[in-house]
Each structure stands twice: as C-alpha cells, then as structure tokens.
Amino acid sequence: MTSFWALVRRDLRLAVREGGAIGTALGFFLVVVSMMPLGLGPDLNLLARIATGILWIALLLAALLSLNRIFEADYEDGTLDVLATGRLPLELVAAAKALAHWITTGIPLALLAPVLGILLNLDIRSYPILVATTLAGTPAVSFLGAIGAALTVKARRGGLLLALVVLPLYVPTLIFGISTVSATMGPSGMGAAFLILTAISLVAVVLGPIAAAAALRIQLQ
Amino acid sequence: MRQLSFILQSRKPVPVQLIAEDLVIERGGRVVIDGLSVAVSEGETLVLSGANGAGKTTLLRAIAGYVRPAAGTIRLDGGDSELTISEQAHVVGHANAVKSSMTVFENAAFWSEYLSGHASDTEQIERALRHFGLEDLVEFPAAYLSAGQRRRLGLARLLLAPRPLWLLDEPTVSLDIASSDRLVAAVNHHTSGGGLAIIATHVPLALERVRTLTIAPRRMAA
C-alpha cells in the first residue's frame, strides 16, 4: 500500500503545483453556470426549477475537461511504462490516479456547486442535499472517467473522443443526482434516489479501475 | 565503487537466468523478431545491436512484459516466482519518467518509494543521485535540467530499488563521456553482484562479462 499512497501523494502534489487542470475545471463550471441566467432571462421561478439540472450538467462537463490529464502526462513522459513495472497492479495504479483526480477536481467542484446555486435562485433547503449528492456522485465521475482517459491516452486531440466515450456512462449519475435533489422537495423524501446514486459511485470505484487497467495494457503495447 | 557496493549489498544473491525460447514478436502486423532463442545467465550483460528498426526496442518491451509475444516464452529462472518479470526489472526507455514540476530529490524519492514498496531511504537516494553526479541539483526543479541531466535522473532509478534484471534502451543518449562511464560502472557493479542486464545500444561501452546479440532487420514480406 506504500506504493499506492506514494502515487496518490505524488499526483496531488503535481495537481497543486501545475494547477492548470483544477483552475480550468472550476473556471469552466463558473462560466457555464453564470451564463445560464443571462441566456434564460430573469425568471426566478424557472431558474429555481432547473437549477439542479444545470448545476449537474455543468459539473459533468467541467470534470470532463480535466479527465484527459489523468493518464496523458504520465504516458507522454514515460512514467506510465515505469509505473507498470511496479509491484502495484495496474488496476490499483488506475485507482490511485482516479482517487487523486476525485480529490483535486471532484471535491472542489462539489463544494463550488452550492455557491453557484445562488446565481440560479436554488431553494435554500436544497443546499445540504446538493453538496451531499455532488460529493456522493463525483467519485463515479472520476472513476468512470478514468476508463475513457485510459482508452484515449494515445489519441492526439482525444478530448472529443473522450467526451463521446465517457458522457453516456455519466447518465445514471446525472439522473439520480438530480432526482435526489428534487425528491427532497416532494413527499417521498430523498432516501432511495440517494442510495442508488451512492451505489453507482461504489460500483464505479470497483469496476472503473479494472476497465481502465485493461485499456492501459493495450495502450502500453 | 564503495558507494555502489553499499547500495546493492542488501540484495540476496540468487542465481537468476533469463531464458527466451522461440520468440516471435509482431508489431503492426509485421513479424519483427522471428524464432529468437537467447539466454542471459547470472552476472552477464547482453548487448543488443542492430540497425534502426531491427527490433531492439521491441525485444526489450517484450521482455519487460508490455508487448505480448505472438509465440514463444520468456521466463526468469531463479527469480521470485511470485512476481512477473516486469516486477523484477528496471526498465529505462527513451523517455526518462521525470516530472518537471518536482525537484530532483522528489522525483527520486517517489520512484524509490513506489518501486521498493516501503518508505524511501534518504541516504540511499542521495547515494544514487551522487553516483550519477546530481548531488548539487538535489533541490533543483527538474524543469530546469538539461537533457543529459534528465537522463541521469532517469538512470538513477536503477540504484533506488534492487532488481535483478536491468533493461536499458539506448541509455547513453545525450550523456557525456564521464556520465556514460558512471553508467557502465553501475552496470558492471550490478552484474558482478549476480544481476542481469540487457542493453540496446549503438555505442561501444566498456562493459564486463558482455555478449553481443545482433538483430538482423527482417525484410517486409512481399
């Protein structure tokens, strides 16, 4: 496990020093959400109704921007070759890198979401639920995203391809993320949708690295 | 070479032998290596020579486990049977696996911790960096290193964790003569302790216990 945490710590350090990926994702999130009221007009009721959907979609797109960096930099400078010779299985290498991505991108985006909710007149009672759902849903974003990042690591300008591969995988997270927040306002409560959202994330955390490692093995040939 | 013996003395002296039999390797639908059998025994250095495109890198990547051979077997006798060949090998390829935004020491410390699987030993890292003449650059960001210095930092990885098999792909590229000599000294010390090394190179190096395998380029099948 020393190798695993060494890799996570190194990725966190690189993310902080290089900064670009986090900044781009947060900036994109901010810009997209703040453009919505400008485009839709100042109808506060309309904005409040669609706020959760906008926040979730913008969050997914913002995360997508930073996904390609999960493996690309390591592939280009030869680090991935050496990581593959470690005693750590490639599955755990992928898991460590996805975990670092979640910490550096998923958590900041989840914490920014309620702040941007102000711009969209989001119901004040939804704030804690919004933070809870984005925190519970973003692991799926990073760990499923690792699959797409591993598949497109060799593709020059693979960003668009990555979006096509990964966005369909995000559909369940999106549906249950939004329905959790809207369910809290209705009579049924948030329970079931939130549990399914968490289950999706847990499945992604287990299966994402396995699929990503299989893709990396092909890419290393 | 007292420094080096100190670095490597912790390794258990297990007689190891790398055996490749009837190896057939394809790249992009073309057979690059056809029916190669080679054995590298304990303490021996195998130098791979051959024209550009003959398949030296391909053979090294197959031994390292990245490329699966179309036929034939590669095995490491006497190694740790729990581990694959790649987990017992140091691979230094064309790229140096150096992160520009970390310092020289941080780069080395990460690889030491990652490859050995336990907390890094500062003294060992400093000895490895000193062997490749990087002791004055320890706190220097790797972004400002020259090509040769980056290469030396990549090679310092060899001394950070003991592994029986060294696979070096043109390791002397962008090294000056003094640094090449330091590399040769490290390889000779490694093999004198019972390690194996396979080196693809175009430059004659003063290696001991060396055997040369010339890979002939195969014509494209009509």
CATH of the domain at B33: 3.40.50.300
What's the pLDDT score for residue A31?
A: 94
pLDDT at position B222: 40
By the CB < 8 Å criterion, does A118 face chain B? Answer: no
A78 touches chain B (CB under 8 A): yes
Number of domains in chain A: 1
pLDDT at B188: 92
Structural domains of chain B, count: 1
pLDDT confidence tier of residue B1, bands split at 50, 70 and 90: very low
pLDDT at residue B145 tops 80: yes
| Partner residue facing B67 (CB), from A13, A14, A221 | A221
Q: Please enumerate in sequence order all residues whose Cβ is within 8 A of that of A114, keeping only pairs 6 or more positions apart, or say none.
A: A122, A127, A130, A131
Q: What are phi and psi of A167, to 5 degrees?
A: -55, -40
Query: CB distance from B80 to chain A under 8 Å?
Result: no
Cβ separation B115–A17 shorter than 8 A: no
Q: Give ∠ CA B173-B179-B182 in degrees, rounded to 5.
A: 120
Note the pLDDT tens digit of each residue in B42-63.
889 999 998 888 888 899 999 9
Residue B219 placed within a domain? no
Q: Which residue of A has its CA nearest to B59?
A: A221
Q: What share of chain B has pLDDT > 70, as a percent?
A: 92
* Cβ contacts from A onto B, under 8 A: 77
Measure in Å the smallest separation between the Cα of B188 and chain A Cα atoms.
22
The minimal CB distance from A10 to the residues B61, B95, B110 is found for B110
What local confidence, expressed as pLDDT, does residue A201 receive? 95
What range defines the domain where residue B203 resides? 2-214
Q: Are B99 and A87 in contact (CB < 8 Å)? A: no
* Chain B residues in contact with A16 (beta carbon < 8 A): none
Distance from CA of A121 to the nearest CA of B (A): 41
Q: Is B119 on the interface with A (CB under 8 A)?
A: yes
DSSP H helical segments within B25-79, as ranges?
56-63
pLDDT value for A187 = 55
**B222 domain residue, yes or no:** no
pLDDT at residue B3 in the model: 54
| A14 vs B: CB within 8 A | yes
Task: Provide ipTM, 2 decimals.
Answer: 0.85
Q: Which residues on chain A are in Cβ contact (under 8 Å) with B85?
A: none
Q: Which residues of chain A have pLDDT under 50?
A: none
CB contact under 8 A, B64 and A83: no
Question: For B168-188, what is each residue's pLDDT tens digit?
Answer: 999 998 899 999 999 999 999
Q: Which residue of B has its CA nearest to A10?
A: B110
Distance of CA B179 to the CA centre of its chain: 16
Q: Does B167 touch chain A (CB under 8 A)?
A: no
Q: Is B146 helix (H, G, I), strand (E, B) or coil?
A: coil
Task: Please give the pLDDT value at position B30.
Answer: 86
Q: Give me the domain span that covers residue A209.
A: 2-220
Q: Which of A85, A90, A153, A221 to mutate to test the interface with B (most CBs of B within 10 A)?
A: A85
Task: Give the model's pLDDT for residue B120.
Answer: 82
pLDDT at B220: 54
Which residue in B64, B106, B154 is closest to A85 by CB distance?
Answer: B64
Q: Is residue B16 part of a domain?
A: yes
A188 close contact with B: CB closer than 8 A: no
Q: Could you report the per-residue pLDDT of B107-116, keeping only the tens digit for each?
A: 999 999 999 8
- Asked if B3 and B125 count as a contact pair (C-beta separation under 8 A), the reply is no
Single-letter amino acid code for the residue at B40: V
The answer to whether A217 touches A90, Cβ cutoff 8 Å, is: yes
Decide if B76 contacts B17 (C-beta within 8 A).
Answer: yes
- Contact present, B179 and B148 (Cβ < 8 Å): yes
Radius of gyration from C-alpha coordinates of chain B: 17
Q: β-pairing, B165-169 with B89-92?
A: parallel
Contacts of A85 in chain B (CB under 8 A): 64-65, 86-87, 89-91, 115
Rounded CA gap, A43 and B111, in Å?
56
Indicate the helix (H) or strand (E) that contains B48.
strand B45-49
Model pTM?
Answer: 0.89
